Structure 1
């Protein structure tokens, strides 16, 4: 049955990539959460999407130019400022929480613009420390980074993210030892999903927010999809399941 992955948590009702958003995704019944990781000036792993803090916080400038202490003084709630103040979480905080539940953790390495030396090593070290290797998927638009992750930790699943069509993506995934692919949902027609899964490659399109697109992916039994609206997706999945249950 298609899994529902909360994109940066339940990011339409709580500030993205924050603990309240991840906790809400759990309450919404999501099977997993998708997070983005970068490094601070002092080499700590933090959970934030953009290379700059401007859009999501009350600060300005690049993540890489802040120490962890400086970053955590910022309010990471630009979208719903009247609700509450929240901090940018560390990967350690997420892992400490994830071991208390059964959710899968999709970690996107944000190293396409800023190279972040040793990001892969540091992320893998923490995954192993918390013993969640079998519940984590490492993904990135930087496919060199994905290959590096596989070489460092072949036991952890990797998945390249891509926006435009790749010819026979299951062959490409196999060539870089990835067990999954994360295409943009428009680059994932049913035939591609079915052929990839037939060849042992998990398919998890992003960012699937319209009901008609969710329905298509559930009906084709796609491995999973990444959405800003996990609650809506879970409800739809349950509704469709009832229809098909005799």
Structure 2
């Protein structure tokens, strides 16, 4: 069965990368969630996509320039005009919540010059602390970051993110010890997905929001896909399973 991962939670309807979006994805029946992690000034791991807080909160500036306490004062829900303030979650908060359910979780490491080789170990240590190694997939566009993660904790699955067409991507994935890969859906034609899965590499394309693309992936039995709208994906999946 093709699994459905909610991209930054149920982000089509709720503020992305917030506990509200994650909890609503679980309520909807998603198989997993996808989230992004960054480091704060005081070394806390927080769940936010951009290097700056401007797009998703009512604040301005770089995440790395805020302490965790300062970040918590911002409202990550104001763009969706929720009545209740939604804070930026810490990774610890999300992992604690994951212990209460069976969801899989794709942690995307946002690794830049400021955080490369600084964020990977704390993320892995926290996953191990909560005993969630078998339910976590670590992905990143920084494949050096992934190799580093694999060396620290080979038991935690890694999956490279990529947005350009790769020749025989399953061979590349295997070369960095990845058991899966997360291509942009536009560079994941059926023949590439099928060949990768036959080779033993899981394929989870991102970000799949159109019904036509969802149907294509269900029809070929793709491992999983990442979507902003898990409700639509679940509705369509019922026709195939």
Place the TM-score, normalised by the shorter chain, in its bin.
over 0.9
Separation in 2, partners of 1:230, 1:114: 33
Separation in 1, partners of 2:126, 2:165: 33
Greater Cα offset, 186-195 or 82-91: 82-91
Alpha-carbon RMSD across the aligned residues, in angstroms, is: 0.9
Separation in 2, partners of 1:214, 1:77: 28
Asked whether the 8 Å contact 2:117–2:145 carries over to 1, the reply is no
Distance 1:24 1:113, change over 3 A: farther
Residue number in structure 2 paired with 1:231: 231
Separation in 2, partners of 1:93, 1:150: 24
Separation in 1, partners of 2:3, 2:50: 26
Separation in 1, partners of 2:82, 2:138: 34
Asked whether the 8 Å contact 2:116–2:145 carries over to 1, the reply is no
Is 2:14 the counterpart of 1:42? no
Separation in 2, partners of 1:14, 1:108: 19
Residue number in structure 2 paired with 1:77: 77
Asked whether the 8 Å contact 1:38–1:116 carries over to 2, the reply is no
Residue number in structure 2 paired with 1:153: 153
Residue number in structure 2 paired with 1:9: 9
Separation in 1, partners of 2:215, 2:161: 22
> Could you say what secondary structure the match of 2:86 adopts?
coil
> Could you say what secondary structure the match of 1:177 adopts?
coil
Residue number in structure 2 paired with 1:31: 31
Q: Shift of the alpha carbon at 1:81?
A: 2.1
Asked whether the 8 Å contact 1:34–1:107 carries over to 2, the reply is yes
Q: Note the 1:1-246 alignment, pairs <5 A.
A: 1-112=1-112, 114-241=114-241
Asked whether the 8 Å contact 1:57–1:77 carries over to 2, the reply is yes
Separation in 2, partners of 1:62, 1:75: 15
> Could you say what secondary structure the match of 1:59 adopts?
coil
Separation in 2, partners of 1:122, 1:90: 12
Asked whether the 8 Å contact 1:32–1:105 carries over to 2, the reply is yes
Paired residues, what number?
A: 241
Distance 1:176 1:116, change over 3 A: closer
Separation in 1, partners of 2:59, 2:6: 25
> Could you say what secondary structure the match of 1:79 adopts?
helix
Q: Calculate the TM-score normalised by the size of structure 1.
A: 0.96
Q: Shift of the alpha carbon at 1:82?
A: 4.1
1:49-72 C-alpha deviation (Å, 9 max, x unpaired):
000000000110000000000000
> Could you say what secondary structure the match of 2:128 adopts?
helix
Q: Shift of the alpha carbon at 1:118?
A: 1.9
Separation in 2, partners of 1:195, 1:30: 26
Asked whether the 8 Å contact 2:78–2:85 carries over to 1, the reply is no
> Could you say what secondary structure the match of 1:125 adopts?
helix
Q: Shift of the alpha carbon at 1:116?
A: 4.3
